[in-house]
């Protein structure tokens, strides 16, 4: 969503509040941590209400799984990449050295922008902005909440059914902005790669699941 600025409330694009939302703590005051805290709460409430009002009458557990799918760090990192935020975030020191900000920084910036929209223009503006940001992810959300379970959860459940121990994850490498993780579970192993540790763990868990199913 590279046109995200057009979805901001009138005037916010030129307001210092947006600059603050895009300033990491490493770059000094004022930074975006407080806005990130606010945006995290607004994001969860918007998504919770959207799921609650879906015609399918989801269970509490189903809504929780789908909400996690929409608001977890990797999901927000993808949103940040679609917004092309990497070059807009003010960083300093060690945080400024990688070519791409870390998933934590990217996800935090998305939450801070949401917080800035809420602070600047209130609930309805923030709600509309979040729905616009997550429109693609919401459209591709599985109808069955069971399908929203990530590979790590599915692997854990598979091992529990078979009365096996694990899984165990070990980070092998973090070079070049890429994480490589090895997973052992139920006598099999898998290696996953991703732009975050969590993404690499999901990939490794998926490999283990495939081997256990085979």
Distances (CA, A) of 177 to 62, 97, 103, 174: 33, 11, 10, 6
Please say if 72 is a catalytic residue.
Answer: no
Backbone phi, psi, residue 189, to 5°: -135, 160
Catalytic residue among 10, 60, 74, 111: 111
Active site residue 15: no
d(CA 49, CA 115): 17
Query: How many residues are there in the chain?
Result: 214
* Separation of alpha carbons 83 and 103, rounded Å: 14
Out of 10, 15, 29, 40, pick the active-site residue: 40
Three-state SS for 196? coil
- Output the six-digit token pair for 69: 């799918």
Q: Find out whether 119 is annotated in a ligand binding site.
A: no
- How many angstroms separate the CA atoms of 78 and 59, rounded? 27
- Cα separations in angstroms, 181 against 78, 97, 106, 166, 174: 20, 23, 21, 15, 9
Q: Is 60 annotated as a binding residue?
A: no
Cα–Cα distance between 63 and 23 in angstroms, integer? 33
The annotation places the binding site at: 36, 111
The annotation places the binding site for Mg(2+) at: 36, 111
State the catalytic residues. Answer: 40, 111
């Amino acid at each position: 969503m590279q046109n995200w600025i057009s979805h901001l409330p009138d005037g916010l694009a030129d307001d210092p509040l947006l600059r603050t939302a895009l300033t990491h703590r490493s770059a000094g005051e004022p930074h975006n941590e407080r806005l990130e805290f606010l945006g995290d709460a607004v994001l969860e409430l918007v998504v919770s209400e959207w799921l609650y009002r879906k015609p399918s009458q989801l269970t509490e557990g189903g809504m929780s799984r789908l909400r996690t799918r929409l608001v977890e760090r990797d999901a927000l990192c993808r949103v940040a990449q679609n917004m092309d935020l990497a070059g807009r975030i003010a960083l300093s020191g060690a945080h400024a050295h990688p070519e791409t900000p870390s998933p934590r920084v990217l996800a935090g910036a998305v939450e801070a922008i949401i917080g800035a929209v809420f602070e600047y223009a209130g609930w309805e503006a923030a709600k509309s902005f979040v729905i616009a940001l997550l429109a693609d992810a919401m459209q591709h959300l599985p109808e069955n909440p069971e399908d929203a379970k990530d590979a790590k959860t599915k692997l854990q459940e598979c091992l529990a059914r078979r009365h096996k121990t694990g899984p165990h994850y070990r980070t092998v490498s973090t070079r070049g902005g890429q994480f490589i993780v090895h997973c052992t579970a139920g006598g099999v192993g898998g290696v996953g790669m991703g732009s975050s540790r969590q993404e690499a763990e999901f990939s490794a868990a998926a490999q283990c699941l495939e081997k256990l199913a085979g």
